[in-house]
Structure 1
Amino acid sequence: MERGVSLLGSGGGGDTVTAAALLRGRLAAGDRAAITPVSALARDAQVLPIGVIGATAVFAEKLPSGAEFRAAIAAVERWTGCRTDALVSIEVGGLNGVVPLVVGGQLGLPVVDADLSGRGVPRLDQLSVAAAGKGLTPLVLAEPGGQVLVLAEATATEVERTARAFLAGSSGSAVLALAPIPASELPDCAIPDSMSSALSLGRQALSADAEELADSTGGRVLGLGRVVEVSRRPGPGEHGRIGFARGSATVRDHRSRSLLRLEMENEYLFAMRDGEPVASTPDVLAVLDNRTGVPIHCDVVRQGIEVAVLQLPAAGFWTDPRRLPVLAPRAFGIDCDPVLLEVRR
């Protein structure tokens, strides 16, 4: 599971190794992590989206106590008057693909085989519920210091801005919980089967090389070679606010001798070969250590390492023309049309 969600993070999503260690510990202690199909739930079952947001690197330095998750869920239940019957991850890509399994095991709640992103996404206004027009409020943020913020009403853009301000003024990371969604509505605003897909992807990745993994998933290998340059720079801000950091990593392909340049923010977003666009978000772009097969995140990619660069197909939710603009290159300030695989999952 850890390998699968790490790949789906597209170079982001936070520390999956620590999250997996937490899950192993809870399973060893006797907790049961249950992944439940949406179809197995009662239509009126209340499914609560949950995850960790902010500076996810903090997650490896200061593990959550568990109180943050209980506080966030309790606050949502008090505000909405709905009792939680199951959990769903806000983001299968990265540590949030594992954390809800830890929480579900602790609280005795099943985790639904779905999520609200299908991959790693950087902003709350890019979650599938926002893309589907459901909105994000009421929303709760609970940080390790004990502060709990309830945001009753706001647009998706305002939610993103308010959440970042809260994180900057507190501990840098927080547990996020959204209002429960009736199970009958989940197929229209979530990515179904994403948890089991991550599990399957991880199994394949642990038993195959890059070419075999690409073939088995409908993806392709964009490049095999050495990272020859990594550059980082401040990202573009809006209205005087600093944006996420930006950067690029350039790989010299051993086979064609071409240069493959990856543009990155929190995730790998866009790829060009010798200046020509060849791949983009919302497809997943993954950089793997060519020796171990371990995904290399944007914040640790460095010059000199041998890598394989993969393009994996986006979830069908994001290839719908109504939703594609939410994760297309222009949503990140890259003036180019999406360059996607034809084979869809």
Structure 2
Amino acid sequence: MTTVVRAQDLEALVVGVTLLGSGGGGDTGAFGRMLRRRLGAGELVLRDAADLPGVSVSPIGVVGATSVLMEKLPSGGEFETAVRAVSRWTGADVTALMSLEAGGLNGLTALIAALDLGLPVVDADLMGRALPRLDQFSWAVAGRSLTPCALSEPSGQVIVVDNVDAAGLERAVRSFVAQTGGWAVLALAPTPIEAAAVDAVEGSLTRALALGQAHAALEPGTAPAAVADGLGGRLLGSGRVEEVARHVIADGGAAFGRGSLCVVDSASRAVIRIETENEYLLALVDGTPVVTTPDLLCVLDHRTLQPIAVDGVRAGDEVVVLALPGPTWWRRPDRLLHVAPEAFGLACPPQLLEAS
């Protein structure tokens, strides 16, 4: 099956990748506007891997501090620079692109890059949602190397990284972006599509579009339970955010924001506590864990039903809290341990929604 994305679909796609971000993944609004300008009156076709036999696909996206990225958006040249660099290093042409992650702004970057480079887009990614670390790419979890790869940044600097594991690549990325303005484009090595798809999350961008379309069908004022049903999820509660706590932790030289928020449900007076890092990770209701990563926790503005990011939620907000099923790729036990709460230092076994 192929999915066609036209200008009238972009608002829904932006909301969908934001929902897959589970409160993280960066500000999708600016990239949605970039994509609209690139697409114009044209269209993008999201292609199934099976429909592109023989192509060599490069997963591509933005890494680094998304807050800095909003101050200096990509020109578009960074995508071509990274793709050309990894192609030269490997001696293989890149003939298709896919997203590094479907959640947040990286759900859109591969589409922008594909329009800029005139390449087809594979409807797949390496996370199925937003996650914060490179070792949480599905390729890395499956034991595949993420190198060689190329990094390019706005001033034109480009580096190729090879022969390091995921942790080594994470360190290289941190070092590079720290010296070059806070963000860079990452392009992984061109890989035959048949091999690339084996350990990828397929259909992720089509899912994002479908989520966004379901969201667009909700009328303002829709009852919270109907909102959850409309999006195919589970309502955890709705009410006022009573408390937001944030702090910074250091891990191997990198700083991560940690925090929590508490919502008091208007109907039951139950306390919904959500633990956060870059994304919403764990929800407890009256102290009992009910939903955890890799399922998707979403906090929506009660009035507009727009998703609220982890760093955007404030005490006093009236919100709807719901959970959506995460990618089925992560449900296998050997994969789940890489994205369960323990992977983020939270002493809680995974609590997943029933598989549909």
Partner in structure 2 of residue 300 of structure 1: 312
1:22 corresponds to 2:34: yes
Partner in structure 1 of residue 45 of structure 2: 34
| 1: CA distance, partners of 2:288 / 2:345 | 17
1:222 corresponds to 2:232: no
Cα displacement (A) at 1:46: 0.2
Q: Of the candidates 328, 335, 338, which is equivalent to residue 316 of structure 1?
A: 328
1:326 partner SS: coil
1:96 corresponds to 2:106: yes
Partner in structure 1 of residue 5 of structure 2: none
1:231 corresponds to 2:242: no
Runs of 5+ in structure 2 lacking a partner?
A: 1-12
Letter paired with 2:288: E
Partner in structure 2 of residue 212 of structure 1: 226
Partner in structure 2 of residue 131 of structure 1: 141
| 2: CA distance, partners of 1:31 / 1:106 | 13
1:234 partner SS: strand
Percent identity over the alignment is 50
Partner in structure 2 of residue 45 of structure 1: 55
Partner in structure 2 of residue 252 of structure 1: 264
Cα displacement (A) at 1:73: 0.3
What is the total number of aligned residue pairs between the two structures?
Answer: 340
Cα displacement (A) at 1:2: 0.2
- Counting only pairs closer than 5 Å after superposition, residues 1-345 of structure 1 correspond to structure 2 as 1-28=13-40, 32-42=43-53, 44-208=54-218, 209=222, 210-238=224-252, 241-344=253-356
Please say which of residues 182-191 and 275-284 is displaced more in the overlay.
182-191
Runs of 4+ in 1 over 6 A off after TM superposition: none
| 2: CA distance, partners of 1:316 / 1:216 | 20
Post-superposition CA distance 1:90-140 (Å, at most 9, x none): 010001111111111121111111111100110111111101111210111
Cα displacement (A) at 1:333: 0.3
Cα displacement (A) at 1:276: 1.3
Letter paired with 2:109: V
Letter paired with 1:77: S
Cα displacement (A) at 1:280: 0.5
TM-score by length of 1: 0.95
Runs of 5+ in structure 1 lacking a partner?
A: none
| 2: CA distance, partners of 1:134 / 1:237 | 24
User: CA-atom RMSD, angstroms?
Assistant: 1.3
TM-aligned CA distance change 1:67 to 1:31, over 3 Å: farther
| 2: CA distance, partners of 1:175 / 1:31 | 25
* Alpha-carbon contact 1:6-1:93 (below 8 Å) kept: yes
TM-aligned CA distance change 1:138 to 1:213, over 3 Å: farther
| 1: CA distance, partners of 2:105 / 2:235 | 25
| 2: CA distance, partners of 1:232 / 1:288 | 19
Please say which of residues 54-63 and 10-19 is displaced more in the overlay.
54-63
Partner in structure 1 of residue 9 of structure 2: none
1:98 partner SS: helix
| 1: CA distance, partners of 2:138 / 2:231 | 22
| 2: CA distance, partners of 1:259 / 1:181 | 47
* Alpha-carbon contact 2:295-2:324 (below 8 Å) kept: yes
Cα displacement (A) at 1:274: 1.6
Cα displacement (A) at 1:236: 4.5
Cα displacement (A) at 1:213: 4.3
Letter paired with 1:35: L
